[in-house]
Amino acid sequence: MDLLIILTYVAFAWSIFKIFKIPVNKWTVPTAALGGVFLIGALILLMNYNHPYTYLAQKAVISIPITPQVTGIVSEVTDKQNVLIKKGEVLFKLDPVRYQARVNRLQADLVTAINNTQVLKGQLDEAIANTSRVSAERDRLYKDYQRYVRGSQAKVNPFSESDIDNARQNYLAQDALVKGSVAEQAQIKSQLDSVINGEQSQIVSLRAQLAEAKYNLDQTVIRAPSNGYITQVLIRPGTYAAALPLRPVMVFIPEQKRQIIAQFRQNSLLRLKAGDEAEVVFNAFPGQVFPGKLIRILPVVPGGSYQAQGTLQSLSMTPGSDGVLAVIELAPNSEIDELPDGIFSQVAVYSDHFTHVAVMRKVLLRMTSWMHYLYLDH
């Protein structure tokens, strides 16, 4: 760009010399050259400082590694590779037999547990009734036993020792039945009293296991998380897919916004702010300039990130060598939508300072776009 400005000044100076018929001598040429140095230097300084430009820009792309949540044998794989698919479309399926069998077994166990609870409630009612019955019989036998005891203490004992002992043994046997019935009643009640949120604990546990089993069954069908594309499909029917986070079976590229990530010099931070007008050119569209806006400046510089490794770390690079990242959002355009994600571009941002100098930047950016017709790297 700087070379274009210099060539433009040379052409302008030559025109001035020709139009006004200025003689070419040892005074006029150095004067024009020196004036050009100061003029061009001032213009370039104002333009670069107030209207930053960078060729380090790229259409943002986010890739999502697709890994199954459960393991199994792949039974079906979509054939829509590198074409737009809608949210919810099936990417691939795993054999669901094992997971369906677990769901069926837990459903049966849940029905059995519910029925068992009803049976326990019936047994509890029966135990309560039985306790009342045997308690009444015990009380009757106790009264008989007391009658025998009082009779034995009379002057004339109408009962034999055998009768008294039998009455005592009958009472003790019945009392043992009462205690056994009470213990059985307490045991049944303890099972029914283990309640979570108003439901028997075993049923709650089975419902939780069934919910997890149904979730795992649903995960045998992997669907697109949003509109986008799939690429690098590394599975085929019959492949064993494992739920390992570091071994994705395919890569999903969600449909991206029209955003450009641009890296500017750190010196440009004084003139970069959200809302500034921006323009972007692509090598793929020579002669075209696409308008946009600066959305935000990322709050961190990538080169300044560190991770704890157990050892002291020094600076990872020369201070100031890593630029700041800015997000540029382009205006709606069908041609941009057709561009592949990740394509490189050049970006210019126009601040509110020295707006008249922005004309130079716009002209130079358009000249750069026209130069994309030339394949100078071949």
Task: Give the pLDDT mean for 169-188.
Answer: 75
pLDDT band at 46 (very low <50, low <70, confident <90, very high): confident
Compute the distance between CA of residue 191 and CA of residue 11 in angstroms, rounded to an integer. 99
Note whether 323 and 265 are within 8 A (CB): yes
How far is CA 369 from each of CA 9, 11, 171, 277, 288, rounded to the nearest angstrom?
20, 21, 111, 18, 6
Quick one: what percent of the chain has pLDDT higher than 90? 21
Q: Helical H runs in 1-153? A: 2-19, 28-50, 97-152
Q: Is the pLDDT of residue 5 over 90?
A: no
Angle between helices 28-50 and 358-371 (to 10 degrees): 90
Burial 333-359 (b: 16+ CB within 10 A, else e): eeebeeeebeeebbbbbbbeebeebbe
Note whether 290 and 331 are within 8 A (CB): yes
Q: Is the pLDDT of residue 197 over 60?
A: no
Look-up of token digits 């004992």: 157
Q: Is 303 helix (H, G, I), strand (E, B) or coil?
A: helix
Compute the distance between CA of residue 254 and CA of residue 65 in angstroms, rounded to an integer. 11
pLDDT of residue 202: 77
pLDDT of residue 318: 62
Count Cβ atoms below 10 Å from residue 24 Cβ, excluding itself: 9
Residues 130-142: tens digit of each pLDDT: 777 777 777 777 7
Q: Give CA 274 to chain center in angstroms.
A: 27
Q: Is the pLDDT of residue 114 over 70?
A: yes
HEC profile for 194-236?
CEECCEEHHHHHHHHHHHHHHHHHHCCEEECCCCEEEECCCCC
Residues 76-95: tens digit of each pLDDT: 998 888 888 899 999 999 99
User: Side chain identity at 375, as an amino acid letter?
Assistant: Y
What is the token pair recorded at 368?
């750069």
pLDDT of residue 155: 61
Q: Is 66 helix (H, G, I), strand (E, B) or coil?
A: strand
Return the higher-pLDDT residue of 195 and 39. 39
Quick one: what percent of the chain has pLDDT higher than 70? 86
Return the higher-pLDDT residue of 363 and 175. 363
pLDDT of residue 294: 93
- Nearest alpha carbon to residue 260 among 308, 217, 299, 295: 295
pLDDT of residue 320: 55
Q: Is 145 helix (H, G, I), strand (E, B) or coil?
A: helix
H/E element, 291: strand 290-297
pLDDT band at 222 (very low <50, low <70, confident <90, very high): very high
Burial 129-161 (b: 16+ CB within 10 A, else e): ebbeebbebbeebbebbeebeeeeeeeeeebee
Q: Is the pLDDT of residue 37 over 70?
A: yes
- Nearest alpha carbon to residue 79 among 194, 233, 220: 233
Compute the distance between CA of residue 354 and CA of residue 351 in angstroms, rounded to an integer. 8
